[in-house]
Amino acid sequence: MNQTLEYLQELLAVPSPTGYTVGVQEYLMKTLEKLCYPYKRTPKGNIIVTVEGKDNTSSRVVTAHVDTLGAIVRAIKPSGRLKLDKIGGYPWNMIEGENCTVHIASTGESVTGTILIHQTSCHVYKDAGTAERTQDNMEVRLDLEVNFEQETRSYGIEVGDFVSFDPRTTITPTGFVKSRFLDDKVSAAILLNLLKTYRDWHVQLPVTTHFMFSCIEETGTGANSSIPENAVEFLAVDMGAMGDDQQTDEYTVSICVKDGSGPYNYTLRQHLVDLAKEKEIDYRLDIYPFYGSDASAAMRAGADVKHALLGAGIESSHSYERTHIKSIQATEALVDAYLKSELV
């Protein structure tokens, strides 16, 4: 797990809200160059590595996404603070009190701040605890000496500047990994480590496999294009959702039966279950009711493939997330077993 966790920490340290992913694309390309893998960057920024297998008449696609939730400057208020528009799906209370960085397009510089509700001070506002968390009430308190709109604009800050959230990554002595954006940088780290392992140990996969790192998944269109014509299977490695009525936990790999887009391919799903049983990998089957993936985006775009979804169990998804090394290990083991198996 050491190398996977190293990749994970490096990925988490790169701000990459959907629409502002050039930095993480550059990280991926540099990492793949060190691993001596040729790659292709598509026009919309997805990074694809094709690993030739023993059989290249048909192929499979495996994806992980590297874009994250974030925000964008909606307006500069008369007070000099910033009004935000959300990137990705989350309620405002999930980011209240979070430190953030404003990426200033006009200068290439950045400035830090904190996301707060306008009525923050309980010594001043009677409704500090009850005021509705809405776009109109939430704002960025910049770490600048500004009190007026024009003072903020004098730093080059403008509508359309991206805002990233502090990931606050921590790995505990008890094996828990706490951070924003484990969805889906855990999976990207797993794919990078498998690529490194296959290179180091000269592993030839049975089937030509296209590793795709997508950069626009949080808004629904990540890996829905540039799918090779001979691809017949599509595995999205994402996250397992936890909560009431969910079987997914932080210590196993979660295999998705159905999400908000509908059921996943039964044959491919059962193939993953059989591999987990054969390799004695602890797993859970689950339904994610409010969820979509790179695989479901590909299906909506018309991909004629068997599609499946699995991932590490992530607690508090789209908030300050947590998983355990055991879940990362189980997920990596099942992806590895799948990639070393024959087509269904």
Q: Among all residues, which ones are annotated catalytic?
A: 217
The type of residue at 93 is N
Q: What is the Cα–Cα distance from 327 to 312, expressed in whole angstroms?
A: 5
To the question of whether residue 238 is assigned a binding role by annotation, the answer is: yes
The type of residue at 168 is R
Calculate the dihedral angle through the C-alpha atoms of 63, 69, 74, 75, rounding to the nearest 10 degrees: -140
Do the beta carbons of residue 46 and residue 25 sit within 8 Å?
no
- 47 CB contacts (<8 Å, ≥6 apart)? 25, 28, 29, 32, 39, 40, 41, 212, 213, 215
Query: Two tokens at 167?
Result: 């990931």
To the question of whether residue 259 is assigned a binding role by annotation, the answer is: no
Q: How many residues does the chain have?
A: 344
Query: Two tokens at 288?
Result: 């994610």
To the question of whether residue 132 is assigned a binding role by annotation, the answer is: no
Do the beta carbons of residue 306 and residue 233 sit within 8 Å?
yes
How would you class 153 by CB atoms within 10 Å of its CB: exposed for 0-12, middle for 13-18, buried for 19 or more? middle
**DSSP 3-state of 141:** strand
Q: What is the Cα–Cα distance from 316 to 342, expressed in whole angstroms?
A: 35
Other residues' Cβ atoms within 10 Å of the Cβ of residue 24: 24
To the question of whether residue 318 is assigned a binding role by annotation, the answer is: yes
To the question of whether residue 65 is assigned a binding role by annotation, the answer is: yes
Which residue ranges make up the annotated binding site for Zn(2+)? Answer: 65, 183, 218, 238, 318
Which residue ranges make up the annotated binding site? Answer: 65, 183, 218, 238, 318
